[in-house]
Amino acid sequence: MSNQEIESSMRKSVEAAQRTFNTIRTGRANPSLLDRLSVEYYGAETPLKSLATISTPDSQTIAIQPFDLGSLPLIEKAISISDLGFTPNNDGKIIRINVPPLTEERRKEFCKIAAKYAEEGKVSLRNIRRDAIEKIKRSEKEGEMSEDQSRDEQEKVQKITNKFISEIETHLSEKEAEILKV
C-alpha cells in the first residue's frame, strides 16, 4: 500500500465523516438535513433527493417540491416517522418544514452526536493505519525491507494518520461552533 493509496483511503474517510456532520441539525434550515431520509416509493426505498427538489426559502424553512405529486403523501409520512423531529405542512403541491430554533439542551445533544461521528471517522483512519503498518511489518519479515526502512515507513504512515485525524478534529470544532451559534 503506497502512501498515495493510504492518503486516498484516509481522505475518503474524512469526507464520509464530513457528510455525516452535515446531517446534524444546526439552528438554520439546511437541505442536507434530509440527506439520510428515504421514502417507500412503489415498493422500494428511494432517497428523498431523487423524488423531489429540496430548497430553503429562508433560514427557518425547508421546502420540498416532489416531481410526482402522487408521492406527496409518501414523502410527508416518511418525514413524520423519521427521527428528525420535524412536522411537515402539506399544501397539496409543496411540503414545508418549519425548523424551530434549537434549545440549549438539544444543541449539547447534537454536539455529543457530532463527537460520536468524529470518533467513528478516527476509528476508520486508525483501521487504515493498522492495515498499512501490518503490510509494512510483513514486508520486513519477508526480507523485502530493512528494519530501518520499516520504521521510516511506519513513521510516514503515522504522520499521514495524524494529519487526517487533526482534519477531522477541525471539522468537529467547526460543526460544534455552528451548532452552538444562536
CA geometry: angle 162, 175, 118, nearest 5 deg: 40
Cell of 110: 447534537
Instruction: Give the H or E element holding residue 180.
Output: helix 147-180
CA distances from 127 to 7, 41, 89 (A): 13, 37, 44
Q: What are phi and psi of 61, to 5 degrees?
A: -130, 140
pLDDT digits 0-9 by tens, 80-118: 888 777 888 989 889 999 888 888 888 888 899 999 999
Average pLDDT, the chain: 89
Q: What is the DSSP string of 32-50?
A: GGGTT-EEEETTEEEEGGG
- Predicted pLDDT at 170: 95
> For the residues 8-13, what does the mean pLDDT come to?
93
**Cβ neighbours, 10 Å, residue 152:** 13
Domains of the chain and any CATH numbers: 3-22+103-180 (1.10.132.20), 31-98 (3.30.1360.40)
- Predicted pLDDT at 182: 67
Distance CA 58, CA 133 (A): 49
| C-alpha dihedral (151, 155, 157, 159), degrees to nearest 10 | 180
Percent of the chain at pLDDT > 70 equals: 99
- Predicted pLDDT at 124: 95
Residue with cell 460543526: 175
Distance CA 7, CA 119 (A): 19
pLDDT digits 0-9 by tens, 34-51: 888 888 888 889 898 888
- Predicted pLDDT at 100: 80
Percent of the chain at pLDDT > 90 equals: 44
Q: What are phi and psi of 26, to 5 degrees?
A: -115, -170
Q: Note whether 63 and 73 are within 8 A (CB).
A: no
pTM of the model: 0.73
> For the residues 54-79, what does the mean pLDDT come to?
89
Q: What are phi and psi of 143, to 5 degrees?
A: 80, 15
Among candidates 27, 156, 39, 28, which has minimal Cα distance to 104?
Answer: 27
- Predicted pLDDT at 164: 96
Local structure of 107: helix, strand or coil: helix
